[in-house]
Amino acid sequence: MLDILQQIRDLFYSFNPNESITDIDILPASGSDRRYFRIAGSGQNYIATYNTNVKENLTFLEFTKHFLQNGLPVPEIYKTNSQFTLYIQEDLGTETLLNVLETKGFTQEVYDLYRQTLTELARLQITGGHNLDYDLCLTNKEFGKQAILNDLLYFKYYFLDTLKLPYDKQALLDDFDALATYLTFTEGKHFLFRDFQSRNVMVRNGEVFFIDYQGGMRGALQYDVASLLWQAKANLPAEWKESLLQHYIASASALLPQPIDPNIFTGQYYGYVLIRLLQVLGAYGFRGLFERKAHFLSSIPLALRNLHWFRENQKIGIKLSEFEKVLQHVTSPEVIANFENVRATPDTPLVVKVCSFSFKKGQPTDTTDNGGGFVFDCRGILNPGRFAEYKQLTGRDKPVKDFLEQQTRMPEFLNSVLDIVDISVEDYIKRGFDSLMVSFGCTGGQHRSVYAADALARHLRNKFGVQVELCHMVQDAKNWVNS
């Protein structure tokens, strides 16, 4: 890590020798192998990206150059190293479209940002897609029949098959093939972002900008629109989806030689909505059901309700009998209920006490009638306290958090802990128990155990809404604090 930070400094000063660096902040890891850093300069901030996948970097850099030449809202690239493993780009801030939606709700301001996003999306797809070098694409040059089938099979293997529901496999595969063939015959193909959702739309001073488009290819206009408007986490109202779709059609029509036929476009659009909903469920199934990541598991009910509403209210213009039976099964109240979290109410008696401690100084005791609980040993995780720069910090300081999240196996450790503790919390809520204690110990009770206790308390509050009492024995001198 120190070597990367030095490379960032060297690259920064090679194009900006008159500005000093006041700080370099390691940003949270994303779902890829890319590492992001925020450079605080004396005049402005910058983003540095480190990635050993040179082909991916070159694609992003060339796409960005082409989009900027066409006046599209993407980040400016300031400097790239000679190996193309590190580049410095414009900092578009910290606020995504999803952040704005979650903060301000379904207001006119947020609706207007979605309208602006779709206007710029049409420009990115049509103007940006014109004369773009699709030989740069990381996988396929075009989102065609095989790519559609891959998304459908992703849903089948990683979500549907885990439910063990009975269905006619060959009939379903035949329906998949028919749907993929139907959607392949789309009039006009342009740039397809592929993962166009509100987390990839940055909002700065009321203007929207796009990031993470290196996975793009040529494809149907409808796919990206479906991805944005039907994102499960956003859960946009039906009337917003309809009016925003009409706005997009008008925006795209203005950029094309011939206006879009709304009936044809809408018919295939809902086919792509279905593809996108199923692809997302496949991803949630893989990350949640196979990798046991809590964030993805908690998103499954939202995605299923999205799919249920779609099945009840929209048609895709092609009859798929077995497919319809499968969708009816997976969106049934019984299946959705299996993924719903048990939630505490104001009358729920359960209090979960979460504590950090030092094994050298002794572990906490449970003063309730329960007589004890979970004790997890964090000493198998690399200790930040071994490094001088972290020695005086705690597990609540950002540099220590970044170290534990990005340079140790703490994320794996916590995923396993959450799986175990969740079972008891869910059961205790159902049975009306009033006490559970969970403790994390490490050598000094300062870094790893503090971080883990905070993370568990936050998780339990968000997932179950249960009352949590948080104690850091070394840091807080045994004073219980309501979280």
Residue 66: φ, ψ to 5°: -65, -45
Per-residue pLDDT of 432-442, as tens digits, reads: 999 999 999 99
* Cα 78 versus chain centre, distance: 27
Better-scored residue on pLDDT, 304 or 27: 304
pTM for the complete prediction? 0.73
Write down the pLDDT at residue 31. Answer: 56
Q: What is the pLDDT of residues 216-270, one digit of tens each?
A: 999 999 999 999 999 888 989 999 999 999 999 999 999 999 999 998 899 889 9
Give CA–CA dist 376/413, Å, rounded: 10
Q: Can you state the percent helix, strand and coil of the chain, rounding each to 5?
A: 50, 15, 35
Residue (of 54, 43, 60) closest to 81 by Cα position: 54
Q: What does R_g of the chain's alpha carbons equal in angstroms?
A: 25
Fold of 97-339: Aminoglycoside 3'-phosphotransferase; Chain: A, domain 2 (3.90.1200)
Mean pLDDT of the chain: 90
pLDDT band at 290 (very low <50, low <70, confident <90, very high): confident
pLDDT digits (tens, 9 = 90+) for 310-364: 888 877 778 889 999 999 999 999 888 888 778 899 999 999 999 999 999 998 9
pLDDT, residue 283, reads: 87
Q: How far apart are CA 470 and CA 483, in angstroms?
A: 6
CB-neighbour burial class of residue 325 (10 A; exposed 0-12, middle 13-18, buried 19+): middle
3-state secondary structure at position 217: strand
Question: What's 96's DSSP letter?
Answer: B
Instruction: Count CA atoms closer than 13 A to 22's CA, side-chain side.
Output: 7
pLDDT of residue 123: 98
pLDDT in tens, 270-287: 988 998 889 888 888 887
Q: What is the dihedral of CA 441, 444, 447, 451, to 10 degrees?
A: 20
Q: What is the pLDDT of residue 237?
A: 93
The predicted pLDDT at position 117 comes to 98
β-partners of residue 171 are: none
pLDDT at 483: 41
Minimal CA–CA distance to 78: which of 108, 45, 119, 52?
Answer: 45
Q: Sorting pLDDT into bands at 50, 70 and 90, what band is 479?
A: very low
| Mean pLDDT confidence for 76-84 | 96
* Secondary structure (3-state) at 380: coil
Alpha helices by DSSP H, 70-144? 97-104, 108-126
**54 has pLDDT over 90:** yes
170-188: pLDDT as tens digits: 999 999 999 999 888 776 7
* Model pLDDT, residue 1: 59
- Looking at residue 156, its pLDDT comes to 94
Task: Print burial letters for 332-354: b (CB count within 10 Å at least 16), e (below 16).
Answer: eeebbeebebbebeeebebbbbb
**C-alpha torsion angle, residues 394, 397, 403, 406 (rounded to 10):** 130
What's the pLDDT at 482? 42
For residue 29, what pLDDT is reported?
63
Q: pLDDT tens digits for 152-170?
A: 999 999 999 988 888 999 9
pLDDT of residue 30: 60
Mean pLDDT of 365-375: 89
**Separation CA 191–CA 72 (nearest Å):** 13
Token pair 């997890």 in the structure block, residue: 376
Locate the domains of the chain by residue range. 2-54+72-90, 97-339, 351-482
Average pLDDT estimate for 112-132: 97
164 compared with 470, residue with greater pLDDT? 470
**What pLDDT is stored for residue 480 in this prediction?**
41
